[in-house]
Chains A and B, each alone.
Chain A
Amino acid sequence: MGIDLAALNGVLKPVSQATGLPNEFYVDQSVHELEREKVFFKNWAAVGFAKDVPENGDATPLQFLGLPLLLLRDRDGIVRVFQNTCRHRGMILVDKPTRIAGAIRCPYHSWCYDLKGDLKSTPHVGGPGQNIHDDIVREDLGLIEIRSHIWQDVVFVNISGDAAPFETYAASMLERWQDFEQPCYFGGPDSQFDLKVKSNWKLAVENFSESYHLPWIHPGLNAYSKLEDHYHIMEMGSYSGQGTMVYNPSLSQEKSFSNFANLPAKWDKQAEYLSFFPNVLLGVHRDHRYAIILVPDSIDTTTERVAIYYASPDMAGADYADLRRRNTALWKAIFEEDIFVVEGMQSGRHGAYFDGGKFSPAMDEPTWLFHHWVATQMSRDPTETVEK
C-alpha cells in the first residue's frame, strides 16, 4: 500500500479541515518501516531509563525497532548506548541484563571491549596464541556508540546522529517545565510497571495527549478533575498534551509526599501531561513525576514502560513505600482503563472505509498536532538534517 501523499496533505490542513493519519500508518508494514527511519531514527527517541543500569558495570540489551542496542553504565558512572553487535562477525554481545565485572567478551570468538567501547583483545586473531595482526587495527574497531542523551532519567537516542542537540530539540519543553528541572528520585521496584497493548504506538500518544476522553474512560478521575478543569498544551513540532487546574492528591489522610523544591504557587493545583514526540509520555505534579516510554514492539503491539519519580531520596525510601504503592496503583488503574481504547482504535484501523477521522476543532487539537508532526516527518526529504 505505502503512503498516500494526498492523504498526508489532508493531515497537514488546519485542525478544522484536517483528517487524521490514514489507516496505513497503523496497519501497513511498509509504512511502519518508513516511520522507523523518518520518525524514530531521525529524531530523539526514548529507549530506556538510566535506572535500568543502576550500578557501574550494569548492562542491559534493548531491541529498538529491530535495532539491537546495549545500554550500560561505565566505570565512571556514565550511561552509554552502543550497538549490541560485535565488530568481528556481528554476534550479539550481551543477551540478558548483566553486571560486567571486567570487559564485554563476545561469546563467539571472544573479542573483548571495555565499557567505553574500546576493543581491548582480539585473541588468536593472527593465528593460535598470536593476538595481533597488521590488518586488525583495534582503534578502528571499537563498539559503535549511539548518540544518546539522558534527561530526567530517560535515555534518548538519535540513531541517525544528525538531529539537533537534545537541548535544542527539546528546548520548548525544557522551558515549559523549567520549574521541574531539578533532581528526581526513582521510587524503586514498587514504582514501575509495564503494560503490553495490542496497538500501534501512535494510538497511545494520541490518547495520552487529549482530555476529551476523560469523562467517558476515567469516570473516577473525572469525579474530581472535570473536563472543564483541563486545558490543552500544544507546541507545534515538539509536544502536545493537556493539563489540569485541580490536582489534589489524596492517597492518605496521614501522610503526603514532599514537593519538588521552590515551585511557583501555580503548581499547587496544576499538573501537566505531555506527549514529547515521538514516544515518551510525561507527567509532572508538585510531588511526583512520571515517564512512560512507548516501545514499538511491532506495528500493532506496544510496551508501555512506566516509571515514577519523587522529589527527594526520603520519598524513595522505605518510610514512604506504602504511599508509593498506592500512587503506583492509582496510575496503573488509570492507564489500564485506556487499554481497551487504544486496542479498539487499532482494530478500527482495519476498517477499509475509515478515512483517518474527523477532529473536533475544540477538543482534538493536541491529537491533530501530533498527527501533523508525524505527517511532517514522513513527508520530509530523507537527506534533510533535522532542525528544531
Chain B
Amino acid sequence: MAREPREREDLEREIITAHAMGDTHLLAELYRRGADLMRAQADVDAEAFLLTQAYVYALEAGHCGAAAMHRRLKTLGREA
C-alpha cells in the first residue's frame, strides 16, 4: 500500500513533464497508467476522468490504443 502514493506522485511528475514537452503520444500512455491505478483502487470516477484524458490525447496523436480506450469508456458508460 505504501508504494501507491509514490507511484502516483511519480506519474503526476511525468505527466507534467509530458505536457511541457507537448508529447501527446506519451500523455495518452501516462494518463492511461493513471486510469489503471484508479481502477486498481476501484475509484471509477477517477478512472473515467484519467481515461478521458488518455483517450483525448490518443485521438490527437493517432495512438493505436485510442479504440481500446473508447471501448473502455463506453463500458463505463462515459462515452458514446
Contact = CB atoms under 8 A, between A and B. Distances in A.
Interface stretch (B1-9, B12-20, B45-53): B45-53
A121 B49 contact: no
Contacts of A102: 58-63, 66
A105 B52 contact: no
Nearest to B59: A103
B73 interface: yes
B59 A131 contact: no
A124 B49 contact: yes
Interface residues of A, number: 17
Contact of B45 (A110, A129, A132): A129
Contacts of B58: 102
Contacts of A128: 45, 48-49
A131 B73 contact: yes
A101 interface: yes
A123 B79 CA distance: 9
Contacts, number: 58
B48 A132 contact: no
A250 interface: no
Interface residues of B, number: 24
A253 interface: no
A331 B46 CA distance: 62
Interface in A127-183: 128-132, 138
A48 B51 CA distance: 39
Contact of A121 (B45, B46, B55): B55
Interface in B40-80: 45-53, 55-63, 66, 73, 78-80
Given A102-B66, A123-B53, A124-B52, A131 B60 contact: no
Interface string A96-109: 00000111110000
29 contacts: A101-B24, A101-B62, A102-B58, A102-B59, A102-B60, A102-B61, A102-B66, A103-B60, A105-B56, A105-B59, A110-B56, A112-B60, A120-B59, A121-B59, A121-B79, A123-B52, A123-B53, A123-B55, A128-B48, A128-B49, A129-B45, A129-B46, A129-B49, A129-B50, A129-B78, A131-B73, A131-B78, A131-B79, A131-B80
Interface of A: 101-105, 110, 112, 120-121, 123-124, 128-132, 138
Given A105-B57, A123-B55, A129-B45, 13 more contacts: A102-B58, A102-B61, A103-B59, A104-B60, A105-B24, A105-B60, A110-B56, A112-B59, A121-B79, A123-B53, A124-B49, A130-B78, A138-B80
